[in-house]
Amino acid sequence: MVLRRARRITDVMLYELRMALEFQFDYKVAEALLPSIDRIEVRYSKKGRIKEIWLDNELLLVRRPNDGLFTLSIKAAKIIVAISDRPRYRIVVKKDRELKGSVLARDVIEIDPLLRPGDEVIIVDSEDTVVGVGRLRLPPTMLIGLDRGEIARVRKKSGA
């Protein structure tokens, strides 16, 4: 997919993007991810739809074409972790485990009970350091008593 050049956004576009983020996350997250009109750029697909949102020349969010929700970058995950209480939006995994393609049930220490399958999740270690981002596969209630199986699919791992 070829993306068109980045453009600054208008006040109306900022409001619409914040509303979409409030729907997916909450008000605090929307305000933190999209702080001011001066720092945000968007890139469009060939069809003219918003595809990527950039903050200070770093990729922040990518819009999923099938449902219009956003996938998180590592930078966005770090912003959300900084402003939200643990375990909100998170899966906490054991510190010594290395992420490959999935978060397995045996590696999970704690999980946000409000998450639903298909939600974007932030994968953190026991010290609340962002390890990666991904998409939840099972409801958190199924994790009780589960010692095997995939809980989340990892999309990006943190380099730091």
Convert the chain into a string of H (helix), E (strand) and C (coil): CCCCCCEECCHHHHHHHHHHHHHHCCHHHHHHHCCCHHHEEEEECCCCCEEEEEECCEEEEEECCCCCCEEECHHHHHHHHHHCCCCCCEEEECCCCCCCCEEEHHHEEEECCCCCCCCEEEEECCCCCEEEEEEECCCHHHHCCCCCCEEEEEEEECCC
Give pLDDT, residue 2: 55
pTM equals: 0.89
Classify 86-157 by CATH class.
mainly beta
Tens-digit pLDDT string for the chain (160 aa): 555 566 778 889 899 999 999 999 999 999 999 998 899 999 988 888 889 999 999 999 999 988 889 999 999 999 999 999 999 999 999 988 788 889 988 889 999 999 999 999 999 999 999 999 999 999 998 887 788 889 999 999 987 5
Task: Identify the CATH assignment for 7-72 out of 3.90.1820.10, 3.10.450.90, 3.90.1750.10, 2.60.40.10.
Answer: 3.10.450.90
